[in-house]
Amino acid sequence: MTTMGLQESKSPSELIDGRIRELGDWRGEMLGRLRALIHQVDPDVVETWKWRGVPVWEHDGMICTGETYKSVVKLTFAKGAALPDPARLFNSSLEGNTRRAIDFQQGEEIDEEAFTALVRAAVALNKSKAKR
């Protein structure tokens, strides 16, 4: 069976678990911690796996994606430009009209209160649009 065939037989949550294990370094730990915070804010969040290997969290639409690169873990909020960000967590993809991202670097602390507020706001925005 090909690798692609194996991936197709796994749930998105299992694929995300695998990605975290496969990274095996600070990036896996960071992605796992951010994932746990997303689930803490929204126990009904749905995990999906898109674009051949990108973890995605959704609730009435996309909340954010979790990409890993050599030097950052990037969480891109699909409707980030519409979200309040008083703590100024968004530090990447600031030029667009829709998305905003947070690049987390090795050793960086997560401002859990500000991060969970962003996730909560993203879920609320998705829910408000879904009701229309």
Q: pLDDT at position 1, please?
A: 40
pLDDT of residue 130: 76
Task: Report the SS3 class of residue 50.
Answer: strand
Contact 75, 102 (CB under 8 A): yes
The whole-number pLDDT of residue 2 equals: 42
Q: Write down the pLDDT at residue 115.
A: 97
Predicted TM-score of the model (pTM):
0.89
Going by C-alpha positions, the residue among 58, 9, 28, 35 that lies closest to residue 116 is: 35
Write down the pLDDT at residue 59. Answer: 96
Distance CA 16, CA 31 (A): 9
In DSSP terms, which residues pair with 64 in a beta bridge? 57, 77
d(CA 64, CA 34): 11
Q: Report how far residue 75's alpha carbon sits from residue 90's, in angstroms, rounded to the nearest whole number.
A: 9
User: How confident is the prediction along the chain (132 residues), in pLDDT tens digits per residue?
Assistant: 444 545 568 899 999 999 999 999 999 999 999 999 999 999 999 999 998 889 999 999 999 999 999 999 999 999 999 999 999 999 998 888 899 999 999 999 999 999 999 999 999 999 998 776
**pLDDT of amino acid 84:** 95
Question: What pLDDT score does 8 carry?
Answer: 60
